[in-house]
Each structure stands twice: as C-alpha cells, then as structure tokens.
Amino acid sequence: MDERRELLKGNTPTLVLAVLRDGPLHTYAIGRILASRVGDAVPFKRGTLYPVLHALERDGLVTGVWEHETADRPRRLYTITDAGRAELVRRAKQWTQFAQAMDTLIGSIPHEQPTG
C-alpha cells in the first residue's frame, strides 16, 4: 500500500477548497493546479475530483454552474462559498494541529535508511 495515498484520503476536499479559494475553476483546471502544486509528493488522480466536488456542492461548500462556451462542450465551473471558506479555515487549523503533533512525534527521526 502506498502510504502517500493514505495521506490524501480525507484531505482531497481540503485541497480542492484551497485551490478554489483563488477563484472559480472547472474540474480540469482544478486537477491541473492540484497536480502542479503537490507534484510527486502525493499521488493524485483527477478522477477522484468528481465525487469530491459533488459532495462539496451537496454540503454547500462550493457552487457549480454550467458554462456553455461556443467552441467547447459545456463544463461545470465551481466557486467556493462563504461556508466553504469557513470550512477551509477550520480544516487548515485542524491540519496544522495534526502536522505539529506528527512533527513532535517523528520530527527527530532521521529520514534516511540506516546503513550496515
């Protein structure tokens, strides 16, 4: 099992809210930005965005509207709501507390394999 995937579980909604904080985006752009920001640190699959966006919309944290471009096919444009911004702040605080606790517990452990 890839432990990096486990880190992503449950945190994808937070990542999506963080990206949408900068402005409305369609799903492909959200995925592209997430991939560029996390790089290889977290294995991210764009197919996971659809259920996450639907759940965030159902919970009132984002709104989605269909955008009908003349040259392109229709696509959904997502915008973070005020409730979504508040939720992002709450999740960021929770993540910071978790990261600090983890750093306290494992921060002094060397990050390389012992030799010999």
Q: How far is CA 110 from the centre of its chain?
A: 28
CATH number of 3-99: 1.10.10.10
* DSSP-derived 3-state class of residue 52: helix
**3-7, 34-38, 94-98 — which one is most confidently predicted on average?**
94-98
Q: pLDDT band for position 20 (50/70/90)?
A: very high
pLDDT score, position 22: 94
The mean pLDDT of the chain is 86
pLDDT (average), residues 12-32:
94
pLDDT score, position 7: 67
Q: Which residues, at least 6 apart from 99, have a Cβ–Cβ distance to it below 8 Å?
A: none
pLDDT score, position 5: 66
Would you put residue 35 in left (φ > 0), alpha (ψ -120 to 50) or beta? alpha
pLDDT (average), residues 26-55:
84
CB 65, CB 77: distance < 8 Å: yes
pTM greater than the 0.95 cutoff: no
pLDDT score, position 92: 95
Q: Where are the domains of the chain?
A: 3-99
Rounded Cα distance between 5 and 40, Å, is: 11
Residue 24 has pLDDT above 90, yes or no: yes
CA distances for 105 relative to 6, 99, 109, angstroms = 18, 10, 9
